[in-house]
A and B are shown apart, each in its own frame.
Chain A
Amino acid sequence: MTELATEARSESPDVSRKAIVLGGRVLLFLLLLLGWELSARRLGSIFFAPPLEVAMRIVSLAQSGKLLEDVAATLRVSALGFAIAGVAGVLLPFLLRRSPRVTAAVEPYIMASMGIPKYALAPWLILWFGIGDLPKLVVVTLVVFYIIFITTFAGIRAVDRRLIDMARIAGAGETRIAREIIWKSLLPFFFTGLKVALPRAVSATIVGEFLVATEGVGHYIEYSRQISDTTGVFAGIVVAVVLVLGVNAVVNTIERRALRWRPVERDMKL
């Protein structure tokens, strides 16, 4: 009831407020762009490639098909790593749920292993598998696994015990309880994990490509740096940022559809 009152009161200032905010954002964006251009002029093109040149480079990369090649290479590894880690990260908590004893025994080691800097494994993996997709894949899989595992695990723990009791009394068996009650209760947590993991998978792949690759967006960025091609570095970073933010946006849309039954306030905001 209070929301209605406040809404009615702020009807007219609301429109001008939105205009100010939008205007401010556009202004800030233009200022940043201007700052970028000025920095390129004052500080020299070794440190700051001018925005226009960067844009042209991206266009030429798109035209030559290299952009698509590299993006595809990055996405390929990200998707595969995400798929493997996603399945493992969801399955393991469900399996662990069946035995609280095993869970208690294994939990501290899983938590401790989280502290291992996964990218640091890349050089060692190169010794094993050489330069190629595999070292990148392993690192990405590890990064995504922990995210999905932790969120799924927390989600399973957070399932309302009373709903499970109710379902048992109604006659539901263990499979039904797992399939419906736990899985559905889990979904919001799961999507939070996905939201974090999917973009993280892409960025992990890109970073992996810094360390070991012959193709991919990350490889392009690092290679450009090594040959002092600042424009290339900027172009690659712009593509990387757009890629990750794009993936983020897609996941958000999917989440909104799948969680239609949730009251809006309960969205897991940042």
Chain B
Amino acid sequence: MGDAPLLEIKGLGKRFPGRLGREPSPWVIQDLSFSVRAGEFLTIIGPSGAGKSTLLNMIAQIDTVSAGEIVFNGETVKSHDARTLRPGFDRRIGYVTQDDNLLPWRTTVENVLFPIEVQGRLNDATRAHADTLIRAVGLAGFERYYPHELSGGMRKRAALIRTLAYDPPVILMDEPFAAVDAQTRTQLQADLLKLWDIGRKTIIFVTHDIAEAIALGDRALVLSRQPTRIAAEHAIPIPRPRNVQDMLAVDGFAVIYQRIRAAIQ
């Protein structure tokens, strides 16, 4: 883990194209800056709304940037023009979206292997790795099921390990556990930390749930209301490995929680 940040967001701004004849639309994101170190688990807290997903979309390069720049590993990304976008930044940035976006015509294992297949890396080793992941999140036995035969939580897990399977150095996550029940959510959080611990990837995890942000992250950023920028930054010195199921009882959790919540009000 070197000192130079892996990812730098500098003065990022976003506004959507206005309608013909109307005034230019307001800035959704303006002057947003932060950086991420390699191997860091960064959580971003913000109220539900367009800002969070838009930010991740820009980092993942499936949406253009209206102002500011993104620097990845020292390389400035050209993302002002839709034609120069490179989605996923040559597979160096993975993205676990809010909707699981599993391909409905592929079975679970086929879905998990999709990126690997597309990248031409399908072989015994990668297949075995996918199997390990499937077992690690409790989907063993469901390899040949189609997405519509799986529960919401199971689809989330499949989408999660699909990205993990091809090992991108940076993974973006957009409220991946928001649509599941509390029980499943805690289990998924624990699974995620277990898996992250093995590879120590760089993760940017967006959520509206303060408790989740604290439980998972090394550092939590708080987003302001529109025009969105970074309102606050909180280090989370809770030692790892963490017990997600009993987070509330952990020393120091309540303090951080109060601090963040107070700042948001």
| A, B from the same assembly | yes
A residues neighboring B (CB under 8 Å): 160, 162-163, 165-173, 176, 180-181, 184, 187, 261-263
The CA of A203 and the CA of B148, in the complex, are separated in Å by: 37
Q: Which of B100-108, B122-130, B196-204, B222-230 contacts A (4 or more CB under 8 A)?
A: B100-108
List B residues 118-160 near A (Cβ within 8 Å). 118-119, 146, 148
Shortest Cβ distance from A180 into chain B, in angstroms? Answer: 8
List chain B residues, Cβ under 8 A from A165: 62, 87, 101
Residue on B nearest A264 in the bound complex, by CB:
B148
Interface contact A168-B148, CB-CB below 8 Å:
no
Interface contact B97-A162, CB-CB below 8 Å:
yes
Q: Which of B65-73, B88-96, B241-249 contacts A (4 or more CB under 8 A)?
A: B88-96
- Among the listed B99, B104, B106, B119, which residue makes an inter-chain contact with A170, where contact means beta carbons less than 8 Å apart? B119
- Among the listed A163, A167, A261, which residue makes an inter-chain contact with B118, where contact means beta carbons less than 8 Å apart? A167
Task: Please report whether the interface of chain A is mostly helix, strand, loop or mixed according to DSSP.
Answer: helix
Interface contact A171-B62, CB-CB below 8 Å:
no
B residues neighboring A (CB under 8 Å): 60, 62, 87-88, 90-91, 93-95, 97, 99, 101, 103-106, 114-115, 118-119, 146, 148, 162, 166
Interface contact B87-A169, CB-CB below 8 Å:
yes
List chain A residues, Cβ under 8 A from B119: 170-171
Shortest Cβ distance from B79 into chain A, in angstroms? Answer: 14
Shortest Cβ distance from A256 into chain B, in angstroms? Answer: 15
The CA of A213 and the CA of B101, in the complex, are separated in Å by: 53
Interface contact B88-A170, CB-CB below 8 Å:
yes
The CA of A172 and the CA of B106, in the complex, are separated in Å by: 16
List chain B residues, Cβ under 8 A from A184: 103, 105
The CA of A162 and the CA of B104, in the complex, are separated in Å by: 13
Shortest Cβ distance from B215 into chain A, in angstroms? Answer: 26
The CA of A165 and the CA of B119, in the complex, are separated in Å by: 15
Interface contact A261-B91, CB-CB below 8 Å:
no
Shortest Cβ distance from A175 into chain B, in angstroms? Answer: 11
List chain B residues, Cβ under 8 A from A162: 97, 99, 101
Residue on B nearest A183 in the bound complex, by CB:
B105
Residue on B nearest A162 in the bound complex, by CB:
B101
Shortest Cβ distance from B107 into chain A, in angstroms? Answer: 8
The CA of A261 and the CA of B107, in the complex, are separated in Å by: 9
The CA of A165 and the CA of B60, in the complex, are separated in Å by: 10
Interface contact A169-B104, CB-CB below 8 Å:
no
Interface contact B166-A166, CB-CB below 8 Å:
no
Shortest Cβ distance from A37 into chain B, in angstroms? Answer: 50
- What 4 pairs between A and B have smallest CB-CB spacing? A170-B115, A169-B88, A168-B87, A263-B148
Shortest Cβ distance from A190 into chain B, in angstroms? Answer: 13
Contacts A162-B99, A261-B104; A168 near B146 (Cβ below 8 A): no
List chain A residues, Cβ under 8 A from B115: 170-171
Interface contact A171-B99, CB-CB below 8 Å:
no
Question: Apart from A162-B97, A166-B101, A263-B148, what are 14 other A-B pairs with CB-CB below 8 Å?
Answer: A162-B101, A165-B62, A165-B87, A166-B95, A167-B118, A169-B60, A169-B93, A169-B95, A170-B91, A170-B115, A170-B118, A171-B88, A173-B118, A261-B106
List chain A residues, Cβ under 8 A from B60: 169
Residue on A nearest B166 in the bound complex, by CB:
A170
Residue on B nearest A161 in the bound complex, by CB:
B62
